Amino acid sequence: MLNKRIRIIRSYLADERGNVESAMVIIPLLVLLLIGAQLIVTTNMRSLDMAITQSHASQQAITGVLYATDEVIDLNSPDAFERIRILVTHKSRAIPQLLPNFISLMSGIPRIDVSGIAVMEKLP
């Protein structure tokens, strides 16, 4: 009786029927899940970087602190006594890759590049 149960358990464990079919379904689903997660992470990182870069641009425009990567654009003003200056800041960051080499196959270098723009205040 015990030997019969052991044989049934061994034959059940040795039977690999369905494993190949399961792998053929689970691997594409896992890749699809990782692609979706990659898109969500990238979109959220870009939104966060845009908000942070815009905040830094506004803060730098008010305080007058400039960095080497910042651009200042002088615009012609209808008022002869006032200069309009626009500050453009840039931020670039690498995207974390959940699916190795997926982004680099499609677009090359996986980076997020954002810019922040603000009107510079006159300093007293």
Band of pLDDT at residue 46, cut at 50, 70 and 90: very high
The predicted-structure confidence for 70-80, as pLDDT tens digits, reads as follows 999 988 877 76
Q: Residue 41, Cα to own-chain centre: how many angstroms?
A: 5
Nearest to 115 by CA among 59, 46, 62: 46
Q: What local confidence, expressed as pLDDT, does residue 14 receive?
A: 66
Q: What local confidence, expressed as pLDDT, does residue 11 receive?
A: 73
Round the average pLDDT of the chain to a whole number and report it. 84
22-26, 38-42, 60-64, 107-111, range with the lowest pLDDT = 107-111
Kindly report the backbone phi and psi dihedral angles of residue 47, in degrees, each rounded to the nearest multiple of 5, phi listed first: -65, -45
Nearest to 110 by CA among 102, 120, 118, 121: 102
Average pLDDT over residues 58-63: 92
